[in-house]
Amino acid sequence: MSVVPVKIINRSDNALPAYATDGASGMDVRAHLNEPVTLAPLERKLIPTGLFVEIPTGYEIQVRPRSGLALKQGITCLNSPGTIDADYRGEIGVILINLSSQEQLIQPGDRIAQLVLQQVARAEWSTDTSLSETARSQGGFGHTGIQ
């Protein structure tokens, strides 16, 4: 497994995001709040983290939901996975939505999402008049019959 240095500024009182286990892909990120935030059912809010990063060119950071938060409280991330581009320098914010039927409370310092560093490739379009055939070809959603 390779290690990629990423510059980070932490303007919160929370610890830096960290991998919980040796095999973890994502690092938990915490809410940077002065007071608790209530999410009503189906309400969404942008939750600040107090983190600013300088991602190396050729990489992105993906913001993904935490499975425990989704299962226990019905809270997940919208725009998931969210992408933080290498040229973005603003504060990392997490768009949370409450999919439960009850109000949910986000406390200062709560773990609200995961950050995953991913290498990316850039596409170079090659216009053509036809594409190669496959067994699936134009079969769309649900076409494979796998359930």
DSSP state of 120: -
**pLDDT tens, position by position, 46-85:** 999 999 999 999 999 999 999 999 999 999 999 999 999 9
Which of 8-22, 66-80, 128-142 is predicted with the least confidence, judged by mean pLDDT?
Answer: 128-142
d(CA 32, CA 30): 6
Domains, the chain, with CATH or none? 7-119 (2.70.40.10)
pLDDT value at residue 2: 87
Using CA atoms, how far residue 147 sits from 9, 137, 138, 140, in Å, is 44, 19, 19, 14
